Amino acid sequence: MYLNIKIVGSLLIAVFSIGINNAQNSVKVDQLYQDLAYKETINFYASKDQLSLEDMERIANSYRLNHDTENAALWYGQVIEQSSDPVNHLYYAQALQSNGKYGKAKKHFLKYNELLGDDNDLRGVQLATAIDRMNEWKNEEDILLQPETKINSPNLDFSPSYYKDGIVFVSSRKTSNKKKYKWTGEHFMNLFYATADEDGKLSEVTSFSKMINSKYHEGPVAFSKSYDKIFFTRNDHVKGKVRTNKKGVMKLGIFTAMSNGENWTDPKPVSFNTTEHEECHPSLSADGSHLYFASDRPGGFGGMDIYVSTFDGGKWGTPTNLGPTINTPGNDVFPFIHDDGTLYFASDGWGGLGGLDIFKSAQNEGAHWTTSENLGTPYNSRKDDFGFVMNVLGTEGYLNSSRDGGSGKDDIYSFQRNVKGIEKVEGKEHITKSELGPNGNITIYQFINNDFQGTPNEVHSAIKAIQEKVDQTNDKEVVVVIGKDDAELPNIAAPTELIVAEKKPVEEMVVEEAPMKHVMKEVEEVAETFIVKEDLAIGKTIQLKNVYHDFNIHEPNKKGEKELDRLVEFMKENPSMKIELSSHTDARGRTRYNTWLSRKRAEASTAYIVNQGIKASRIIAKGYGETKLINKCVDGVECDEKEHKINRRTEIKILKL
């Protein structure tokens, strides 16, 4: 038997179901695709000399479900030329938006609805309209957002949850007991624990628990406020015995366990789990009475929806859908219920900057959820942003993002907010070490807000959230007392009167210089001489130094566009010049496929130049594939990525002056 992974909606939604089937000695591509082995499917199709529409749809879908938006856009661009299926325009538009091509994305969002002709699904119109509103989603708060570089890996790292002196998070990094799976070629998900160092940065990553981690997927977690109870996502198995649906797929469920000191009891599934559908991404309310989660069970609004179950009479009740102000025809996932009752979650159905965006909603006086609000930048980017959590005071937290500049595919970021109304209080000598716990050395802050309208229940909920934590207070923590600016700081006699935040406030953080060094390096590269007079001769071939293509991608990257802009200016200065623009690949992949790919690369670069005002008649686009390698990296010779990159070049040959 072997394992295959099914991911609902998007890899970054982190819904990993496992199909269990009998392996055959000779597996054809159709079987690979049906068994959800998408990485292998892509490699197989790349070796075919001729591709059908169905083949191209499967390639596009495989890239989409591995969240490779560049390659997904490449293939969906080919698919929509032949396919009449509206959903291909939707997927194409989503990939384009994540790649920053908003105008083109808007066009295909609208095309999706036009072809669909369904007034009940206006997703395309809504997503297109959202593109026009992107400038509104700029957060004006004082926010410092930074990647947690000490714990991020080249793999998937996501869904942090506060735990003791750090966080527990999910990662596909290699461990001794986790095998690779065919969906992505990465390892099964494990839970890890990271503690905070003296500067408040996360470090010292260790495996979370042998009792919780298994050979299958473990996903996002939620803890009770005393950390003695855990809820977590897991593939549906108990003590190694798997439970599958009618199609033989082991779905996701939510499991729970109790702390017995240094370890956890045997995990048990919660009562509302199903075998036919997914239940995942738990988040527990401050008082432990409500469990929020994501599910694709029947009766929802589309994809994944967010539900809540209430603990009453010693058991979890039937889950309730949160309704249309939260859920959409797309995917609404990764709920986080804050201590103040605000719900934060990720969605690709409301429209935003691209991919999954983070939204929030609160309950009004009638206990109805308000219309979801986009958090804006810097929380959201054109890539996937999700897994939002925040401390009791709202001064800091964590989120996940696949934005550029990280260490891997998904990375964990920390953020600090300069929250209005939180002020430092000096000279309160009556608060002693004995009253605050064994370690003492506490910085005192007071919540200064004359308009504070918190109800007794809300205040009690916030206080209870940290009650047990106060006894473990260490030198990195900050105490905040609820009060008003005309009230004296109370004489604190019990830990229930304290709220504890976990790191230094924003004004004490230091911005590192590394990003500026990276920018300067780019400037130096672009400043290289483009074409010198000695090169101006008919028949002369000139390599465009900065026009390289990422593996399997035909459109030039950002550096490539800058170099092509310089070529445009040069051709405008020399209006009689005519050129051949040629593209080349490395030796990986089949020869025929590489020839096709290089031709598409040359055509893409030519189209970019023509769009800048150069006549198409002045450029001949050629694709030479792997026929003109300029180093040793032929088939059968082992080379690193830098050596392969040299061959993925673009050149011009001067045909006329």
What fold does the segment set 143-417 form as a domain? Neuraminidase (2.120.10)
What is the rounded distance in angstroms from the CA atom of residue 180 to the CA atom of residue 178?
Answer: 7
Q: Name the pLDDT band for 52 (thresholds 50, 70, 90).
A: confident
Average pLDDT over residues 251-278: 91
Which of the two residues, 337 and 27, has the higher pLDDT score?
A: 337
pLDDT confidence of 454, banded at 50, 70, 90?
A: very low
Task: Output b/e per residue, 611-622; b: 16+ Cβ within 10 A.
Answer: eeebeeebbebb
Instruction: Write the CB contacts of 221 (distance below 8 Å, at least 6 apart in sequence).
Output: 159, 161, 168, 170, 191, 230, 231, 232, 233, 282
Q: How many CA atoms lie within 13 A of 130 on its CB side?
A: 26
User: 208 versus 599: which is more confidently predicted?
Assistant: 208
Q: pLDDT value at position 242?
A: 80
Task: Tell which residue, 75, 80, 40, 44, has the closest CA to residue 61.
Answer: 75
Of 571, 521, 573, the C-alpha closest to 546 is 521
Residue 20 banded pLDDT, cuts 50, 70, 90: low
| CATH topology for the 45-132 domain | 1.25.40
Average confidence (pLDDT) over 84-104: 93
pLDDT greater than 90 at residue 361: yes
SS3 content of the chain, % helix, strand, coil (to 5): 25, 30, 45
What is the architecture of the domain spanning 515-656? 2-Layer Sandwich (3.30)
Separation CA 10–CA 31 (nearest Å): 21
Which residues make Cβ contacts (< 8 Å) with residue 412, sequence separation at least 6? 147, 148, 151, 152, 157, 158, 160, 167, 169, 202, 387, 398, 399, 400
Cβ-based burial of 231 (10 A; exposed 0-12, middle 13-18, buried ≥19):
buried
Which neighbouring-strand residues pair with 499?
480
For 290, the 3-state DSSP assignment is: strand
54's tokens = 């169905």
Whether pLDDT at 92 is above 90: yes
Average pLDDT over residues 180-193: 75
- DSSP element (H, E) containing 74: helix 69-79
What's residue 177's pLDDT? 54
Within 13 Å, how many C-alpha atoms sit on residue 310's CB side?
A: 5
- Determine what percent of the chain is predicted with pLDDT higher than 90: 32
φ/ψ (deg, to 5) at 331: -110, 125
List all residues 6 or more positions away from 191 whose beta carbon is below 8 Å from its beta carbon: 168, 169, 170, 207, 208, 209, 212, 213, 218, 221, 232
What is the token pair recorded at 317? 């009740």
pLDDT of residue 419: 57
Mean pLDDT of 186-193: 85
* pLDDT tens per residue, range 530-572: 555 555 778 888 888 767 655 555 667 667 788 888 888 888 9
Q: How far is CA 79 from CA 84, 163, 497, 651, in A?
A: 9, 46, 62, 29
Using 50, 70 and 90 to split pLDDT, how confident is the model at 106? very high
- Pairing, β 268-269 against β 279-284: unpaired
Confidence of residue 178 (pLDDT cuts 50, 70, 90): low
Question: How far is the C-alpha of 206 from the C-alpha of 143, rounded, in Å?
Answer: 29
Which residue in this structure is represented by tokens 């919540």? 447
Work out the average pLDDT over 496-509. 31
> Domain map of the chain by residue range?
45-132, 143-417, 422-508, 515-656
Distance between CA atoms of residues 243 and 252, nearest Å: 10
Alpha helices (H) in 465-535, listed in sequence order? 467-470, 514-526
Q: What is the pLDDT of residue 308?
A: 97
Q: Judge whether residue 519 has pLDDT over 70.
A: no
